Each structure stands twice: as C-alpha cells, then as structure tokens.
Amino acid sequence: MREKDLALCAGLLLALFLPVSLRADGRTWTFSTETVDVSATFSSLKVDSNGNVHLAYTNPGFRVNYAFRDAQTSKWFHSEIDKRASFTSLTLDSEDNAHICYTQADLNYAHWDGKVWQKEQIVHGAGTIAYSCGVAVPSQGGPYVTYYQERTPEDTNYLHMRVAHLENKIWSLKTLDWDGQTGKWHTILLDKLENLHIGYDAFVSGQLKYAVWDGKEWHIKAIDSRTSSEQPGRGMGNSMVLNSKGLAMISYFEQEALKYAREKDDGTWSIETIAATFPSVTWAGYRSSQALDSQGLPHVVYEDAGTLRHMYWDGQEWHAQVLAHQGIQRLRYASIAIGRDDTIYISYCDPDDGSLQVAVGHPSASAAPNSNRMKSDH
C-alpha cells in the first residue's frame, strides 16, 4: 500500500474516533447536528445580530434555497429562491436582511427587502459565468457583486473575475485583474469604512492576491506566489476575514496544503502552512471558510479529500478536529459563522446520505484537552 493510501486510512480512523469537541484557550465547544434539508451542495451561512441563522444553498437539482433558523425556537424555515444555479454566496446587510448571489451560466442576485424576495439577472448575454461569486452591501449605496467570467459571448475564453456595482439602478462592470485566470476562487468583504476588500487567486501565475478599493482606486498586491513553493496553484478555495484593526487574514490552498496569511500593521504579511491536505480532483474540493469569535480568533473549516476539518487559533497555536468523515457523497461544501455568544454554526453536506447538516457548537466550561495542536511562531 502506498504511503498516501496509508495516511488516508489513518485519517479515516481518526475521523471515526476523534471526539466532537474542541478545547482552546480554556474554552470548549461541544457540537450537535441539525438536519436542515434532504440534500445540498454549496452552502453559505451567516448569523445576524439577534442570533438568527441565515443559510443559502443549492441542491443536486440546481435549485437555490434559503433557510432561516429562529434564535428563540431553534426551528428551521425554508423557501425556494430560484430554479437554476450551482454556486451560491450569502451576506447580510446592516438591517440583517439576506443578500444572495448565485451562478450557473448567468449571474443572478436576490435580496430580501423585508417583505418579499427581489430577484434580478445582473448581466445578460455576457457569455458563460461560473464558479465563485460574492456579494457585499454597504449601508449607503448599491451592492457589489463579484463573479468569474469564464467565456465570452463569442464562446472564447475570458477567465477573469469581474466586479459589478449597482449605482442609480444601473450595474457597472469592471475586470479587476488581467493576470491569467484570476478569481476563480475569491472572497469579498467591506471594512468599517465600507471600502471593498477582495482576496483571490491568480491560477496561471500561481499567486494569492489581495485587492482593496479605497473609494478612488484599486490597490492590488501579491501575497503568496509559486516562488516560495514548488507546489502548483496558490490561493485556491480562499476565505477572508478582517480583524478589529481592519487587517486581512486569509485561509487558502496550494496543491497539497492549507495555508494562512495575516496582514501586519506595517502592510507586510506573515504566511504559514497550517495543514497538509490531499489534492482534490475538482475545483469545489478546494474550499475553506472562516469566521472570528468574540475574541477575534479565527476558526477555519475546510475540505480535505472529503473529510471536513475544523481548525481554531487560540493566539499561540492551532487546534484541529474532524467534524465529518469521508463517505459516499464526495464533497462537504461547508460554511462557518459564529454568533455573538460564540455559538459556532457549520453547514455541510452529509457524507453518507447527502443531506444538509448544520453542526452547532456551544461554548462550555473548561475541560481536559482533547484536540490536536500545532504550534506556530505567531
């Protein structure tokens, strides 16, 4: 048996017997699971200011769905948004209303106005739009929606991420970076000043890139590049958060590793490898998602050849656990969000029956350590 096969078997055994609790910095989260729907693929969730959970997801029938978990009753409510999409991404505005982008051939945008869902197709006849999209909603002005333009109307390669911005009821479109094959994986956020931040991959040149719109112009820099490693790819499956200072922290993949980049006060970046991973055979297998807890510490969930793993930084070292094992259903399509009370919510596709599950982790009293730890110089 090959070395990688032995490691894979060991990982499966670990997934079966590792306790579903995580201790770090004197705190422990104990997880339970809730079944939300009978099937799901890509999921995206957020927790609002009242502790309600908002969840967008697609299913194998390419339908876009929305689920809402009431904080008082813990009950889930469902609605169907649209009938044709594969990827979806959700965010909340300042009024806790949900905004969803979704793609499959076209780019679509839906938002809840407090009474009904408002839906529109942002671009028409622009060619094939696929893979990732993202949405960010400022308190003043129209939303930003990012997407990956795969093909032109003439059916030739385009292969670049674009930024759409709604102003005066008209969508303006911009290609952010003309480097080869940029933004197939990307994340967008607004900071406290409502400037737009985008983390994305430049696949051909093998770079993780970071762009900031300061209200007047874009500032783009390369954070990690192939020159620092022989492994192909860089920036795949990225997920970004901003800390209390507005500095970016990005989880992302190279071919056989999950990495983590942190922006420093002086504008430089620290980069570390936080986990070895098995190469994926599909773009959707390179997927990480992260959120910050009340102490500003990052939690990352990520896909590892079908195993769903959760990592937590306590200020000095990383802690790791397995949340879902490999199974008949190959991919987990996970997303994480954390409430103000530090309750963790992680949505994912069940490995055995393909149902949509949400793992709910409640912080509890200090207990004996039972997590794997990895030290870092940070």
What pLDDT digit, counting tens, does each position of 198-234 carry?
999 999 889 999 999 998 999 999 999 986 556 667 8
Q: Give residue 232's pLDDT.
A: 65
Dihedral pair phi/psi, residue 246, rounded to 5°: 85, 15
Q: Return the pLDDT at 84.
A: 83
Could you give the count of Cα atoms lying within 13 Å of 29 in the half-sphere of its Cβ?
Answer: 27
pTM of the model: 0.90
Whole-angstrom Cα Rg for the chain:
20
At 67, the pLDDT band (50, 70, 90 cuts) reads very high
Mean pLDDT along residues 141-167? 96
Q: Given this model, what pLDDT does residue 364 score?
A: 75
Q: How confident is the model over 134-145, as a mean pLDDT?
A: 96
Note the pLDDT of residue 365. Answer: 57
pLDDT class of 363 with cuts at 50, 70, 90:
confident
- Range(s) of the domain holding residue 191: 3-375
- Quick one: pLDDT at residue 279? 87
Q: Is the pLDDT of residue 11 over 50?
A: no
Q: How confident is the model at residue 2 (pLDDT cuts 50, 70, 90)?
A: very low
Q: Is the pLDDT of residue 373 over 50?
A: no
The number of distinct structural domains making up the chain is 1
Residue 3, pLDDT score: 36
Q: Is the pLDDT of residue 369 over 70?
A: no
CATH (domain of 353): 2.130.10.10
Arithmetic mean of pLDDT, 310-320:
92
pLDDT of residue 23: 53
Note the pLDDT of residue 61. Answer: 84
Which pLDDT value is given to residue 123?
83
Q: What is the model's pLDDT at position 22?
A: 56
pLDDT, residue 367, reads 39
Q: Whole-number mean pLDDT of the chain? A: 89
Share of the chain above pLDDT 70, in %: 88
332 Cβ contact partners less than 8 Å away, ≥ 6 residues apart: 287, 303, 306, 307, 308, 324, 348, 349, 351
pLDDT exceeds cutoff 60 at 287: yes
Instruction: Supply the pLDDT for residue 200.
Output: 98
